[in-house]
Amino acid sequence: MASHLFCGRVNLNILREAARKDLREFLDKCSGSKAIVWDEYLTGPFGLIAQYSLLKEHEVEKMFTLKAGRIPSAAVKNIVFFVRPRLELMDIIAENVASEDKLQPRDVHILFVPRRSLLCEQRLKEKGVLNSFTNIDEYILDLIPYDGDLLSMESESSFRECYLENDQTSLYHAAKGLMNLQALYGTIPQIFGKGECARHVANMMLRMKREFAGSQTQILPVFDTLLLLDRNVDLLTPLATQLTYEGLIDEIFGITNGYVKLPPEKFAQKKQGEGGKELPTEPKKLQLNSAEELYAEIRDKNFNAVGAALSKKAKIISAAFEERHNAKTVGEIKQFVSQLPHMQAARSSLANHTSIAELIKDITTSEDFFDSLTVEQEFMTGVDTDKVSTYIEDCIAQKDPLIKILRLVCMQSVCNNGLKQKVLDYYKKEILQTYGYKHILTLKNLEKVGLLKPQSTMRNNYPTIRKTLKLWMEDANEQNPNDISYVYSGYAPLSVRLTQVLARPGWRSIEEVLKMLPGPHFEERQQVPTGLHKKRQPGENRTTLVFFLGGVTYAEIAALRFLSNMEDSGTEYIIAATKLINGTSWIKSLMDSPEENLP
């Protein structure tokens, strides 16, 4: 069921099991048949913890989406609301509860994810329904195990809240999540961090540790180091187009909660004798994680190396199928047959990924993609970042998707440490005149978070950062990479470079650059109870948890995995993030474009 969680250095299934146990306990608290009313946003994250079968085992018979009005009728004993603590949701719940049939009372329960909220309970009280609830509980779901080495809070708007709205709720949850993680995996002795949010999270963690002093768990620490990184330390990376296989899938089709929806045409089952059957119209939904052997192998490769890997795999599989001709004795045939399911799974997986690769290839080989990538790379190498880019101008004129434009403009601004006022105003004007005045607020948002900014009197320090941290590698090897820069075919993500330098030779060597990046950098140590100090075997790697506050991209994950697998790296990385993002979803989360409300 969750085999992908076992494979990593750290068994993240412990976390998943703990979460499942809590869920079961809560469900059993509401004895009898029940219907769950879902805050729609939660269904995705919950899918990573428990399938419907688990709910069904605990007498969940119906599931509804939370919406105003009445709850659809269902012959159940209990109604359970699974919601985030949001006031607007409380209003809906109050309405739901108030319109419950008074003659056939059902037990109503509420489960807050990830935490109870006094504010929400107060609201329910004001609405006069607080006493209608038999159970009010919280389901602490901060860090959700996503893959063998990956945890996500699946908190969509975390970056926006922290940097735009100055609402640090998600950081509080992150700190709580880290405490929870430490309860299961032991105290993390070393904490490093860079950025305001990182500092805030670390402060909260240290405070919470003091608060829980005396009730420490006696667990041998699994993680040696925690690195907290603010997304705004590295605004550039998510803007660039990811060039790993998984990164491109996300860029083009979007991966949500570990699933991707693909256009169905390529996946039509071509069976003999069924020709002419109409093509499926439903998008093809695929789960993507390391449980799938082939996917685990190719996900982090540069897309240009995927073709070769697929064809190699194809040869191996067909060779394996050919084996049947060599199988002479009954025993041999039996052995062949026993391997058949595995082989068939491998074959269908190969077919799927070949189709996906084809879909991606159609796009990556297009002129548009090439042009856009060229401009991105020019920006990243510092070419003409101070002038209006004719390419961007053209794109606006052609009315290319707004987000694409915003990504490029922001990238230019970031790579130039701000744009000249004239250039900035020109872009803004162009965008507003082409895409509509309503985007003015979006532009302001981008300015507020620092993605777009006028050049200050300060020198552009991006070239220095680029050179010191070797962010641009001319000779990136896409097929057999020797550096993390392969994930963007030349650009080495700043965030991952910082991580790499921290492990070796340490941040002291880059003090100057760190000072140029926003926010403080720091190191904290947490006392590990005596007797729980890890005795490292010679050659045993350190384990570092890298937590991206504000989101992480698949390409960054790929780069960290690459570092983990490097022969002499000495460190293995587990990755945590508030959310898995890409440039598009990230910019989208910052947009504020009111829908025109016209007759």
Partner 1 sequence: MAFVTANWNPLGEAFYRKIELYEMGWNLKDGLRECLVAAAPYGGPISLLKGHNRRSPSDRPQLEIYSSSGLPLASFPWKSGVVKQLGWTVSDDLLCVQEDGTVLVYDLLGGFKRHFSMGNEVSQSQVLETKIFHSPYGTGVAILTGALRFTLATNIDDIKLRRLPEVPGLQGAPSCWAVLTQDRQSKVLVANGSHLFILDNTACTPVTPPGLSPQASSIVHMCVSFSYKYLALLTDSGHVWMGTSNLKEKLSEVDTKIKTPPKQMAWYGTLLLFPSAVVMWDGLLIVVGECKETIQYHLDDDSILVPELDGVRIISGTHHELLQEVPGACEEIFKIASMAPGALLLEAHKEYEKESQKADEYLREIKEQSLLSEAVRQCVEAAGHEHEPETQKTLLRAASFGKCFLSNFPPEQFVSMCRDLRVLNAVRDYTVGIPLTHTQFKQMTVQVLIDRLVYRKLYPLAIEICRYLKTPEYQGVSRVLKHWACYKVQQKEESDEVIAKAVSVKLADAAGISYSEIATKAYESGRTELAIKLLEFEPRSGEQVPLLLKMKKSPLALSKAIESGDTDLVYTVVMYLKNELNRGDFFMMLRNQPVALSLYKQFCKHQEQDTLKDLFNQDDDHEELGNLYVKASYKDQRLEARIALLQSAVDEYYKAKNEFSAKTTEDEMRLLRFQRLTGLWLHNNLQCTLSIQKSFLPQTFDQKCTLLFMIKTKNHNKYCCLSHRDMEGAAEAAIERRNESEISTVLSRCSATTDHLLMERLNRAKATAVKK
* Residue numbers at the binding site for partner 1 (CB under 8 A): 85, 87-88, 115-119, 122, 165-169, 171-172, 175, 200, 203-204, 207, 210-215, 393-394, 397-399, 425, 428-429, 432-438, 440-441, 444, 592, 594-599
When the beta carbons of 407 and 439 are compared against partner 1, the nearer one is 439
- Distance of closest approach, residue 85 Cβ to partner 1, in angstroms: 7
User: Rg for the chain (alpha carbons), in Å?
Assistant: 26
583-590 and 440-448 are packed helices; what angle lies between their axes, rounded to 10 degrees?
A: 110
When the beta carbons of 334 and 444 are compared against partner 1, the nearer one is 444
When the beta carbons of 37 and 174 are compared against partner 1, the nearer one is 174
CA distance 13 to 34: 27
Express the helix, strand and coil content of the chain in percent, nearest 5 each: 50, 15, 35
- Distance of closest approach, residue 328 Cβ to partner 1, in angstroms: 58
- Distance of closest approach, residue 454 Cβ to partner 1, in angstroms: 10
- Distance of closest approach, residue 216 Cβ to partner 1, in angstroms: 9
- Distance of closest approach, residue 434 Cβ to partner 1, in angstroms: 5
- Distance of closest approach, residue 422 Cβ to partner 1, in angstroms: 11
Helix/strand/coil (H/E/C) assignment for every residue in 213-242:
CCCCCCCCCCCCEEEEEEHHHCCHHHHCCC
Q: Are 391 and 371 in contact (CB under 8 A)?
A: yes
When the beta carbons of 4 and 200 are compared against partner 1, the nearer one is 200
Q: State the DSSP H helix or E strand holding residue 259, giving kind and residue range, or none if neither.
A: strand 259-262
DSSP per position, 44-80 = HHHHTT--HHHHHHTTEEEEEE--SSPPPP---SEEE
First to last CA, the chain: 51
- Distance of closest approach, residue 64 Cβ to partner 1, in angstroms: 24
When the beta carbons of 207 and 533 are compared against partner 1, the nearer one is 207
CA distance 73 to 64: 10
- Distance of closest approach, residue 231 Cβ to partner 1, in angstroms: 19
When the beta carbons of 209 and 347 are compared against partner 1, the nearer one is 209
When the beta carbons of 88 and 511 are compared against partner 1, the nearer one is 88
Q: Does residue 472 sit in helix, strand or coil? A: strand
CA distance 575 to 246: 16
When the beta carbons of 168 and 485 are compared against partner 1, the nearer one is 168
CA distance 32 to 60: 9
367-381 and 402-415 are packed helices; what angle lies between their axes, rounded to 10 degrees?
A: 20
